[in-house]
Chain A
């Protein structure tokens, strides 16, 4: 059971949140110009990294805001959480340990 720092409300219990998978997947601006394969990448394919990954969460039972997080999927430790639109934090150098 994780502790997650909502960028607005502060540290809260995981049960107040929902995880929505990989972050920073922008909706293509001109879907018509994409091949089926490119569109398929957008709608189906996610990295599911073993290690540090950028994720989207929402604070459903709190302020209702969506935000991003950098989490290590192996250790379940969060590097940081940040608001939508903010620059993503760098992946720590211990990657691969």
Chain B
């Protein structure tokens, strides 16, 4: 029968908007305003999932975000959303839901055998069993994950969009119940910037379910509506519903996830983001996050139909659903009597089992007056039913509450509504490093103190009366606004009246004894999602895992998607009982974000696909696209790697490019090189500090190569710096080192030498750089420039300012290949124009566009280093055999003192050498080690490793560079290089210059 559990009238659902949905393929009806859980309960479906370890049938426990059991997958295909709590999924027409953790079906799950074998699956089972043999762990893990896993993530791309938003406020209020709304009112009235956040679709918190509650003599929800109406009029107040605060970090940094379209179902257009991830900085925070009811821990307390009393009440009052016709309320306090009364009023048959010997108070009296049966000093010791609760077994408790007596009797029922008291939701407070205090009277942890500016109000502060919540909220809202600099002189308004009936005392029993030993036949689950039982806590204690951190990990308490919202305190209390210590002595674990599960999509926001990472492009990028470049990522830059012609693979293209440059002329894009403009009277003093060589005498128009070391004496960057004019220099750095060098210079200027007259500013992107290389470079360039390019007029290591193809340029005659080379710098806007002009001018010489790989080969042929490839932060200039660039005369510079440290001054350090393979066709793997003596297996005496290795078409063989221990003295000697595949190559150590040792080619062909 459709919606057999639906109450005829009432609730906050919209009965004019019926919807239909499917669960595991079967179609059901519900209403807008339902959650998936309430709609299933309305259809008398309790079985919603299987548990993680034992695959036991599970129903819904709660009506909120603390739900551990009813975990389902929403949607299908690209849009499937696994591990979603049915209790927070808003109903829409066409919703598709399916159960998890079961195969082949929810009703018949083969994994349920784990339940039968549960004596062999105690806590810590996985750790103990699968630790051995160690080598198999990875394999075991795969199998465990597959059989115990939760929902399945979709494999296709997510068609929805997501967004991130940064926001600031004076007062952030987490929770929109009576306390949070009160705080928002007083804070908002000061004109402060307020953000009010609640995870539900509607504001009101506990009042949404509290049928009969009154404020100022009117229904409490009237007060909620009025408060919201007032808040909506306030310009500086932002109201966010369907938004869960998920993280509370240092300096009042709050993260929250807003569900924008989830409640509408899949959207045709993804213009509107599905979810928004808020990053909020609040001056003051008011926590009004409510509380969680504690389950009773009795034998087989996990059967579908066993629910929290407050949840049953929510389903009755808010959703118009009576979860079952025959209800047993099992409680240790008065609050669950409200559930009993509401169920009774809606036609339920109700009996109450109360652990207390002599419960009294108005609610108890009311129940008695209605002839509701109350079994006092009694407890449920077991349940009947597997996929659905069929009844409970009840016995009398002994005086201490640790045993039962008398005769066991049976009550037939299909729902148990249980309450073992309440835990303030201190999760966010604890995330923010807040320290908790144990309240003996409430038998729960409450906020104590926190280093960040926040206020806990209402039931999350242990204040469980409505008037108390309103009063605390009003006061905290104003205080918070005032602390943020608003509402000076304002006073806290009078608290509206909200009379409530008195509640009697509790009788807290952390778990309910049975008529047989613990764990014999029935399980007391304290942690539903991860199937952890009271017996597991005893086992943990017996095995020595008595600290709260060990307890958590050993029993997996609190490690599910619900983060132990209903289980943690019970577990701690039971451990305290076992150890005979107080609950505070056991202590709590620290709560961690996220408070509720958050999607990866929301965290990523727009940072996906093309916007995932910035692709930095040079001004000539469109030409490279046009000319078929394959790109290499260098930092964030897209640099042409090589330019293949039809049918060429990378090797063929690079070999061709390398030959073309040395035979005629090549062109590459050097725009990514780091560039700094340096000006001031102390500019050369700065260069002398930064570089190892001397800079005082560099004339305008002249260039010089330099090595930079850090204070450890290790090379960290290199490049050419040119004197542009008096006290004016242009420095170049490696592409990857540009940012590092700029920061390095700023650090020294700003922190150590602020009195120097020198400034350095990055100009990397100001200049587009086309680099001509090869004997015919001059012939190409002279077609486009207005200056004399002869070697006499424009010698090596000089710079000329001129015009090229009609635009102003600085041309540097420097070379990273040993060939005649011009580095043509023009303002970036002209980069493409000049590049195209050079290609056209070079056509008659078969000018060859080449990429970074050819550049690497050509420089290696000449033995030029690449900082960061042939150096690794542990290499001195002397190790590179570059003593010639280390000035002995100019005085101090960065790193110099370190050159004479005992370790740096050793002569047998790893040094840069050339390496030639015996077989000229073998290209060694970069990173391969040279060994003194080849053995069958490691360890072998390793001399060092290959840093650069290529096939050089210009040398007609492979070449390599390596950092080798005492390498300078090993030249001419042969060693072996073992490979990953078990082979080994014979190599000889050589000088690292393989081509044009005499440097004859630098001036190219005369024009």
**A interface residues with partner B (beta carbon < 8 Å):** 1-3, 13, 18, 20, 26-28, 31-32, 34, 36, 39-40, 42-43, 56, 58, 60, 64-66, 75-77, 84-85
B836 close to chain A: CB less than 8 A: no
Assuming the A-B contacts A75-B451, A77-B451, are A3 and B281 also in contact, with contact meaning beta carbons closer than 8 angstroms in the complex? yes
Q: Closest chain A residue to B279 by CB distance?
A: A1
Contact A58 B743 (CB under 8 A): yes
Query: How many angstroms from the CA of A77 to the CA of B433 in the assembled complex?
Result: 12
Query: How many angstroms from the CA of A39 to the CA of B713 in the assembled complex?
Result: 12
Q: Closest chain A residue to B710 by CB distance?
A: A43
Assuming the A-B contacts A1-B251, A2-B250, A39-B897, are A26 and B743 also in contact, with contact meaning beta carbons closer than 8 angstroms in the complex? no
Query: How many angstroms from the CA of A76 to the CA of B452 in the assembled complex?
Result: 10
Task: Among A18, A64, A84, point to the contact of B754 (Cβ < 8 A).
Answer: A84
Contact A31 B896 (CB under 8 A): yes
Measured between beta carbons, the chain A residues less than 8 angstroms from B901 are 36, 39-40
B649 close to chain A: CB less than 8 A: no
Measured between beta carbons, the chain A residues less than 8 angstroms from B281 are 3, 13
Query: How many angstroms from the CA of A76 to the CA of B250 in the assembled complex?
Result: 7
Query: How many angstroms from the CA of A17 to the CA of B166 in the assembled complex?
Result: 17
Assuming the A-B contacts A32-B897, A34-B897, are A1 and B250 also in contact, with contact meaning beta carbons closer than 8 angstroms in the complex? yes
Measured between beta carbons, the chain A residues less than 8 angstroms from B711 are 27, 42-43
Assuming the A-B contacts A3-B251, A13-B281, are A31 and B897 also in contact, with contact meaning beta carbons closer than 8 angstroms in the complex? yes
Contact A66 B897 (CB under 8 A): no
Measured between beta carbons, the chain B residues less than 8 angstroms from A3 are 251, 253, 281
Q: Closest chain A residue to B752 by CB distance?
A: A27
Query: How many angstroms from the CA of A39 to the CA of B900 in the assembled complex?
Result: 11
Q: Closest chain B residue to A40 by CB distance?
A: B901
Contact B746 A56 (CB under 8 A): no
Query: How many angstroms from the CA of A96 to the CA of B798 in the assembled complex?
Result: 61
B637 close to chain A: CB less than 8 A: no
Task: Among A31, A43, A65, A76, point to the contact of B750 (Cβ < 8 A).
Answer: A65
Extra inter-chain contacts (16) besides given A13-B281, A31-B897, A43-B898, CB under 8 Å: A1-B251, A2-B250, A3-B251, A27-B752, A28-B897, A34-B897, A40-B901, A43-B712, A56-B751, A60-B743, A64-B746, A65-B750, A66-B750, A75-B433, A76-B251, A85-B754
Task: Among B251, B750, B892, point to the contact of A84 (Cβ < 8 A).
Answer: B750
Question: What are 10 residue pairs bridging A and B, where the CB atoms are less than 8 Å apart in the complex?
Answer: A1-B251, A1-B279, A13-B166, A18-B743, A26-B752, A36-B900, A40-B901, A65-B750, A66-B750, A75-B433
- Find residues 462-482 in chain B having any chain A CB closer than 8 Å to their own CB: none
Task: Among A39, A64, A77, point to the contact of B898 (Cβ < 8 A).
Answer: A39
Report the minimal beta-carbon distance from B166 to chain A, rounded to whole angstroms.
8
Contact A31 B752 (CB under 8 A): no
Contact A58 B746 (CB under 8 A): yes
Query: How many angstroms from the CA of A56 to the CA of B892 in the assembled complex?
Result: 25
Instruction: Render B895-916 as a binary contact track against A, CB cut-off 8 A, 1 for contact.
Output: 0111011100000000000000
Measured between beta carbons, the chain B residues less than 8 angstroms from A64 are 746
Query: How many angstroms from the CA of A36 to the CA of B433 in the assembled complex?
Result: 44
Query: How many angstroms from the CA of A77 to the CA of B252 in the assembled complex?
Result: 11
B28 close to chain A: CB less than 8 A: no
Assuming the A-B contacts A58-B746, A77-B451, are A1 and B754 also in contact, with contact meaning beta carbons closer than 8 angstroms in the complex? no
Query: How many angstroms from the CA of A36 to the CA of B281 in the assembled complex?
Result: 48
Query: How many angstroms from the CA of A42 to the CA of B897 in the assembled complex?
Result: 11
Contact A36 B750 (CB under 8 A): no
B747 close to chain A: CB less than 8 A: yes
B249 close to chain A: CB less than 8 A: yes
Measured between beta carbons, the chain B residues less than 8 angstroms from A43 are 711-712, 898
6 closest A-B pairs by CB? A31-B897, A1-B253, A66-B750, A3-B251, A76-B250, A43-B711
Measured between beta carbons, the chain B residues less than 8 angstroms from A13 are 166, 281
B-side interface residues, number (CB < 8 Å) = 25
Query: How many angstroms from the CA of A39 to the CA of B899 in the assembled complex?
Result: 11
Contact A1 B751 (CB under 8 A): no
Query: How many angstroms from the CA of A31 to the CA of B281 in the assembled complex?
Result: 46
- Find residues 703-755 in chain B having any chain A CB closer than 8 Å to their own CB: 711-712, 743, 746-747, 750-752, 754
Contact A66 B253 (CB under 8 A): no
Measured between beta carbons, the chain A residues less than 8 angstroms from B898 are 39, 43
Contact B451 A31 (CB under 8 A): no
Q: Closest chain A residue to B250 by CB distance?
A: A76
Report the minimal beta-carbon distance from A65 to chain B, rounded to whole angstroms.
7
Measured between beta carbons, the chain B residues less than 8 angstroms from A36 are 900-902
Contact B752 A1 (CB under 8 A): no
Report the minimal beta-carbon distance from B868 to chain A, rounded to whole angstroms.
20
Report the minimal beta-carbon distance from A76 to chain B, rounded to whole angstroms.
5
Task: Among B249, B451, B750, point to the contact of A1 (Cβ < 8 A).
Answer: B249
Measured between beta carbons, the chain A residues less than 8 angstroms from B752 are 26-27
Q: Closest chain B residue to A68 by CB distance?
A: B751
Contact A66 B747 (CB under 8 A): yes
Query: How many angstroms from the CA of A93 to the CA of B746 in the assembled complex?
Result: 34
Query: How many angstroms from the CA of A42 to the CA of B279 in the assembled complex?
Result: 40
Query: How many angstroms from the CA of A20 to the CA of B750 in the assembled complex?
Result: 13
Report the minimal beta-carbon distance from A77 to chain B, rounded to whole angstroms.
7
Query: How many angstroms from the CA of A2 to the CA of B452 in the assembled complex?
Result: 12
Contact B747 A20 (CB under 8 A): yes
Q: Closest chain B residue to A1 by CB distance?
A: B253
Measured between beta carbons, the chain A residues less than 8 angstroms from B279 are 1
Query: How many angstroms from the CA of A34 to the CA of B898 in the assembled complex?
Result: 11
Task: Among A28, A66, A75, point to the contact of B751 (Cβ < 8 A).
Answer: A66
Contact A66 B251 (CB under 8 A): no
Instruction: Render B408-442 as a binary contact track against A, CB cut-off 8 A, 1 for contact.
Output: 00000000000000000000000001000000000
Q: Closest chain B residue to A31 by CB distance?
A: B897
Report the minimal beta-carbon distance from A66 to chain B, rounded to whole angstroms.
4
Contact B743 A2 (CB under 8 A): no
Query: How many angstroms from the CA of A43 to the CA of B433 in the assembled complex?
Result: 35
Report the minimal beta-carbon distance from A40 to chain B, rounded to whole angstroms.
7
Contact A84 B751 (CB under 8 A): yes
Instruction: Render B232-245 as a binary contact track against A, CB cut-off 8 A, 1 for contact.
Output: 00000000000000
Query: How many angstroms from the CA of A56 to the CA of B537 in the assembled complex?
Result: 48
Q: Closest chain B residue to A38 by CB distance?
A: B897
Query: How many angstroms from the CA of A5 to the CA of B129 in the assembled complex?
Result: 53
Measured between beta carbons, the chain A residues less than 8 angstroms from B902 are 36
Measured between beta carbons, the chain B residues less than 8 angstroms from A75 are 433, 451
Query: How many angstroms from the CA of A23 to the CA of B279 in the assembled complex?
Result: 30
Contact B253 A31 (CB under 8 A): no
Query: How many angstroms from the CA of A44 to the CA of B424 in the assembled complex?
Result: 49
Query: How many angstroms from the CA of A60 to the CA of B746 in the assembled complex?
Result: 11
Report the minimal beta-carbon distance from A43 to chain B, rounded to whole angstroms.
5
Measured between beta carbons, the chain B residues less than 8 angstroms from A27 are 711, 752
Measured between beta carbons, the chain B residues less than 8 angstroms from A34 are 897
Query: How many angstroms from the CA of A85 to the CA of B743 in the assembled complex?
Result: 19
Measured between beta carbons, the chain A residues less than 8 angstroms from B746 are 58, 64, 66
Query: How many angstroms from the CA of A13 to the CA of B253 in the assembled complex?
Result: 10
Query: How many angstroms from the CA of A65 to the CA of B751 in the assembled complex?
Result: 10
Query: How many angstroms from the CA of A17 to the CA of B218 in the assembled complex?
Result: 53
Q: Closest chain B residue to A77 by CB distance?
A: B451
Instruction: Render B261-295 as a binary contact track against A, CB cut-off 8 A, 1 for contact.
Output: 00000000000000000010100000000000000
